[in-house]
Amino acid sequence: MSPTTLSTSIIAHGLIFDLDGTLISTLEVTEKIYTQYCRQFDIDPAPVLAGCHGIPTLQVLRMFYPPSTHTQEFANQMEHDSVIHLDGLQIIPGADSLLHSLPLDKWSIFTSGMPMLAHPRIKHLKLPMPPVFITPENITMGKPHPEGYVLAARTMGMDPKHCVVFEDAVAGVVAGRDSKAVVVGIRTLLTDKQLKDAGATYTVKDMTKVAVALNPDGTLTVTIDES
């Protein structure tokens, strides 16, 4: 990258997106639900809200909540409670136009949210649904383990090292980095330094700073503006 510009272009075979905080903003809903359950169990919500982003609900429960909550059934109940709260959802700027510009076989989603949570949100916001959509149901190890990103790339028929991962949370950035993909951090919650310290190669303010062009050989030229 030239010192006189904040933009660079890379060639990729495919793109893999996190969902919450990368394509859609769920911060209001997520913090509302976790705070509600913190009150129920008399837990200080501050560390929960600081550490819950980008990892599966069951992992959050095991990290911060009492053992009685450490079941998939309890995690499903919490996510069910989140599903009914759709009014606070927003599309990250630029995500709608970017996704609609991409061939469906060139991108995928890997989210820590279960399908019952992720799918209604995408439908509500009228975003396209890619054929490859990886959730905790498809893997044994959640973020920061790279399994989900590796699976997303392989299911698209690609090597992860030829993919670009877009992430907003430390756990997801680490997962993308360890999958050997190029990671672009979205500065939704974290700073450029925090994201790069976790393993992001580039960071962007939002998806308006990302442009993708399909090349004649089927590869993608991804232009990233770090301003």
Catalytic residues: 87
Phi, psi dihedrals of residue 26, rounded to the nearest 5°: -115, 15
Nearest to 56 by CA among 164, 137, 177, 133: 137
Nearest to 186 by CA among 23, 48, 26, 31: 23
Nearest to 31 by CA among 3, 2, 60, 10: 60
Nearest to 126 by CA among 158, 100, 163: 100
Nearest to 33 by CA among 71, 68, 85: 85
Determine contact, residues 21/168, Cβ cutoff 8 Å: yes
- Rounded Cα distance between 123 and 65, Å, is 31
Side chain identity at 99, as an amino acid letter? L
